């Protein structure tokens, strides 16, 4: 018994060398406290009552362990352990069971020093949150627990070192960001540079994780949410541009959305499917393109004279512009004329001068995608194109579909006379190669323009001869 106190002091000091956060009470050399990190391998589901709000927490407030080594320890008695948490998220029954575990371990060892083995056992149990699959706690703890989990996640991340998957340089976590959905890590500078460029150039479909591992996983490789872009952080004005461009793209691809007939406005009709964006920081989810295609609003019924379907009210033709608040008819595009007035659809050939000029420019200066027909214009590079809308590979010269696995075979086939060995034709862009010959729809436009000019030239020659 005489050597007991020395053994107790020696064991606490040894434990302190392993766990520097262990605090030995200077007033009682056989008393110590240790705060043990609780970071379960899988986030713990926590239900806060009475609201029944469910949160998944990656970190929970530390396990506070109080050690007291009595005189009979280690040979004749177990250590005295008390376990608490602040706030008290750990059930009292679980805390008591963990404390009793020290005695059970001491009995299993047949006496002796067990503190290190006991703490190691607690650390292992913490990985599964001590066997607790789901916690039910009072709502008063919610804010504190959520803030603690977020703070600990950030602090531990900041202390680690990561290799950025873009610049490949090792950087501290404080200069990096971990993607929420896939957990890939990049330095903040690379993320900001990439996403700012994508948004500035209008390539919003590229605002995704940059890791090659995400490229083939459609579930993971979704567009980054505005809320996450703000956390990186990307400047708020850039995120607002991203959100508005994404919304505009969805609306323009939706055949059920009608735009304001006022030429100076051209705003979209109000739609519950695409509400006006007020606060971008509240937009937490960013659906994939596949999910976007699954969501369809009810089709607008096209009504002409005497063709109104049974059960469809005339008020279904009423739309209101979200920008200028003009109330107009979706059938005839005139100002709202009331429920019982007959109207006819506007002739699609009735284009304004601006619309006709835009259409003429598009027909003459762009090549359509072979799949979705989106007009594309090349600014530089080869004639192997990839559609920014649907990622289809196609030939810029003739509009033909290209095999994604062998896109350049099209330009190396001697039988393909129109495009053979013309991969780099117009490498400086359309504006620098106005006389380049095209095939397909664009080639037909070129041919039509040529013969129109030729007909005018011949007519002018005839007129000159007659006057001469």
Concatenate the DSSP letters of all residues of 53-120 into one string: EEEEES-EEEEEEEEE--TTTTTTSPPEEEEE-SS--S-HHHHHHHHHHHHHHHHHHTSS--HHHHHH
3-state secondary structure of 462: helix
- What does each C-alpha distance from 90 to 33, 83, 130, 133 come to in angstroms? 18, 9, 9, 12
**From the centroid of its chain, how far is CA 274?**
18
Q: What's the length of the chain?
A: 468
| Cα separation, 424 vs 411, whole angstroms | 10
- Measured over the CA atoms of residue 180, residue 181, residue 183 and residue 187, the dihedral's sign is negative
CATH number, span 7-151: 3.10.110.10
Q: What gap in Å lies between CA 430 and CA 379, rounded to an integer?
A: 6
Chain centre distance of CA 428: 34
Strands 80-84 and 60-68: antiparallel
HSE-CB of 344 using CA atoms within 13 angstroms: 3
pTM above 0.85, yes or no: no
Same fold, 7-151 and 161-214+221-248: no
Estimate to the nearest angstrom the gap between the alpha carbon of 4 and the chain centroid: 61
Highest mean pLDDT among 2-16, 176-190, 300-314, 335-349: 176-190
Cβ–Cβ under 8 Å, residues 413 and 402? no
When pLDDT is averaged across residues 368-393 and rounded to a whole number, the result is 86
Ranges 116-130, 330-344, 417-431, 443-457, most confident = 116-130
DSSP 8-state class, residue 304: -
Helix-strand-coil split of the chain, %, nearest 5? 35, 15, 45
The domain limits of the chain are: 7-151, 161-214+221-248, 255-283+316-347, 367-431+440-459
Domain 161-214+221-248 part of CATH 3.30.40.10: yes
Out of 41-45, 132-136, 296-300, 423-427, which region has the weakest mean confidence (pLDDT)?
296-300
3-state DSSP assignment of residue 208: coil
Whole-number Å distance between alpha carbons of 162 and 153: 15
12, 30 contact by CB (below 8 A) = yes
- Beta carbons of 60 and 95 less than 8 angstroms apart: no
Cα dist. 462→459, 467, 468 in Å?
A: 5, 9, 10
Mean pLDDT of 272-286: 72
* Residues 6+ positions from 43 with CB-CB distance below 8 Å: 56, 57, 58
> Which are the contacts of 101, defined by CB distance < 8 A and separation ≥ 6?
118, 121, 122
Say which DSSP state 133 is in. S
Report the mean per-residue pLDDT for the chain: 84
pLDDT at 458 over 80: yes
Quote the pLDDT of residue 347. 62
Task: Judge whether residue 428 has pLDDT over 90.
Answer: no
For helices 440-467 and 353-365, give the axis angle rounded to 10 degrees.
Answer: 110
Does position 296 have pLDDT exceeding 60, yes or no? no
- As a whole number, mean pLDDT of residues 371-385 equals 86
Alpha helices (runs of H) in 217-374, residue ranges in sequence order: 226-231, 236-252, 289-294, 353-365
* Model pLDDT, residue 433: 54
At 59-96, the pLDDT tens digits run: 999 999 999 999 999 999 999 999 999 999 999 999 99
């Amino acid at each position: 018994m005489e050597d007991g106190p020395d053994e107790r002091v020696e064991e606490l000091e040894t434990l302190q060398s392993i766990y520097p956060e262990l605090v030995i009470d200077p007033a009682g050399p056989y008393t110590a406290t240790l705060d043990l990190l609780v970071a379960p391998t899988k986030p713990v589901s926590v239900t806060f009552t009475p609201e029944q709000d469910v949160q998944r927490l990656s970190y929970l407030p530390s396990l506070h362990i109080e050690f007291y080594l009595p005189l009979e320890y280690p040979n004749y008695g177990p250590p005295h352990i008390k376990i608490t948490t602040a706030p008290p998220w750990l059930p009292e029954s679980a805390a008591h069971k963990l404390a009793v575990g020290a005695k059970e371990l001491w009995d299993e060892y047949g006496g002796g020093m067990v503190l290190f083995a006991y703490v190691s056992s607690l650390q292992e149990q913490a990985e599964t949150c001590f066997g607790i699959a789901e916690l039910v706690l009072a709502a008063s703890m919610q804010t504190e627990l959520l803030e603690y989990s977020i703070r600990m996640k950030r602090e531990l991340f900041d202390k680690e070192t990561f290799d950025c998957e873009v610049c490949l340089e090792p950087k501290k976590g404080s200069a990096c960001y971990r993607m929420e959905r896939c957990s890939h890590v990049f330095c903040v500078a690379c993320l900001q540079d990439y996403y700012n460029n994508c948004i500035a150039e209008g390539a919003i479909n590229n605002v995704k994780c940059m890791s090659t591992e995400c490229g083939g996983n459609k579930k993971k490789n979704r567009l980054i949410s505005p809320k996450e872009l703000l956390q990186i952080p990307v400047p708020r004005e850039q995120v607002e541009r991203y959100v508005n461009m994404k919304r505009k793209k969805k609306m323009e691809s939706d055949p059920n959305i009608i735009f304001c007939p006022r030429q100076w406005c051209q705003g979209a009709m109000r739609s519950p499917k695409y509400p006006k964006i007020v606060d971008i920081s509240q937009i937490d989810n960013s659906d994939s393109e596949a999910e976007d295609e699954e969501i369809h609003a009810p089709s607008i019924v096209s009504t002409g004279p005497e063709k109104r379907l049974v059960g469809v009210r005339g008020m279904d033709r009423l739309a209101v512009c979200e920008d200028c608040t003009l109330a107009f008819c979706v059938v005839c595009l005139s100002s709202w004329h009331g429920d019982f007035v007959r109207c006819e659809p506007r002739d699609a050939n009735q284009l304004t001068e601006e619309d006709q000029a835009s259409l003429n420019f598009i027909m003459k200066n762009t090549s359509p995608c072979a799949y979705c027909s989106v007009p594309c214009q090349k600014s530089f590079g080869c004639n192997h194109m990839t559609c920014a809308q649907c990622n289809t590979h196609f030939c810029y010269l003739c509009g033909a579909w290209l095999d994604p696995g062998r896109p350049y075979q099209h330009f190396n086939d001697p039988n393909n006379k129109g495009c053979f060995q013309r991969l780099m034709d117009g490498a400086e862009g359309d504006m620098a190669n106005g006389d380049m010959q095209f095939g397909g729809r664009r080639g037909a436009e070129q041919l039509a323009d040529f013969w129109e000019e030729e007909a005018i030239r011949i007519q002018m020659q005839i007129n000159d001869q007659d006057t001469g």
